[in-house]
Homo-oligomer: A and B are copies of this chain.
């Protein structure tokens, strides 16, 4: 049978992995897809690298725009990343009637609405399993596997770098800066780790999952994003004493008032399966009204795990590409024109539980003052640790876990507590989710 022809844009880590896996498993992939899937042209600015990886087995070029215009190419795989030239290439490929497979979470989170509209108009598919959680087929699970459900919330460890750092901080009791350097040395963190450690990468992925789960447009600009760079090792230890682990979670939740869309360090009960996801692994927990909790776990990055998702999309597109566009799985799970207009809540309107750590003078009446302020804001306390001051010390730490409260009320209480003369410095606030 006639092979399907792929134009590969970018032969870096994931592009190289895609080349390798597609060739190594060609026989099984063909048996699954019904016809061979072959990369017929590779575009990369580094022509030498492209030639070296492909070993003369396909055409190489440094002109990606020629590939998206190539009449021989059926599917364009975009692995360049970023929202600059990648966006132009994807839109051009669509305009030329090519199907697109991409791993580019930033592009979809920021420009997805425009891209999917263009694809819809041209009747082509844009597939993006590799954009979220690497090799874990979470997009497929949300878009096809859980279609019976009203999805209630998703909570995911969707950035391997930060999960590696948090695991190391907990295991070895080390500070963030020390572990980050180690992660960079081991290749788990990039030279400029900002997107990972500040939660931006996780927010891109969360935005995509939120759109699919709730049938809403991509709204990355509304996401609340807080990373782990300011996380103190002592909070990981206190959390542990209270039976919790701290993970950088991407959380999106349906509420009567709107959708929550937030990335931040989160205390979760240590006995939950997802709390035991260690190192650079990813996991996504999905709560549906019929199915209950389901969890999806695996490698969220790396050459071959990500290639696994890219190629799964290639097989999907190959299997489906002759079907009428209206009989394909919709890009965002819901049929085009059926997206809902639900607002994303500002972080002040979010309701969750909180971990509060404050440094106080060891004097009578301190706890009474603090608890009075919390009570005035309708915030009730679920658990508390008060450290005995060390010999000769005048100050001590108080750690409180609250029941559910609205963030703006918690912030108001924090402001008042910080003005108490017996409280020293800033109060540390972390969010807590029971995930039940």
Which chain A residues have a beta carbon within 8 Å of chain B's beta carbons? Answer: 17, 21-22, 24-25, 28-29, 31-34, 129, 134-137, 140-141, 144-150, 215, 273, 276-277, 288-299, 304-305, 307-312, 315-316, 319-324, 326-330, 333-335, 338
Contact = CB atoms under 8 A, between A and B. Distances in A.
A299 B334 CA distance: 25
22 contacts: A21-B148, A21-B290, A24-B289, A28-B150, A28-B334, A32-B147, A32-B215, A32-B334, A33-B147, A135-B292, A135-B294, A137-B146, A140-B141, A145-B312, A147-B316, A149-B308, A276-B276, A293-B298, A294-B296, A295-B295, A319-B327, A323-B327
B144 A290 contact: no
A301 to B, nearest CB: 11
B32 A330 contact: yes
Nearest to A275: B276
Contacts of A129: 145
A304 B297 CA distance: 23
Given A31-B338, A320-B323, A320-B327, A307 B290 contact: yes
A145 B149 contact: no
Contacts of A34: 326-327, 330, 335
Contact of A328 (B298, B309, B319): B319
A294 B298 contact: yes
B135 A144 contact: no
Given A291-B308, A297-B294, A322-B324, A315 B147 contact: yes
A24 B63 CA distance: 52
Given A148-B312, A289-B25, A295-B296, A323 B326 contact: no
Contacts of A321: 327
A147 B312 contact: yes
Contacts of A308: 146, 148-149, 288, 290-291
A102 to B, nearest CB: 16
B291 A135 contact: yes
Greatest chain B CB density within 10 A among A294, A295, A320, A329 is at A294
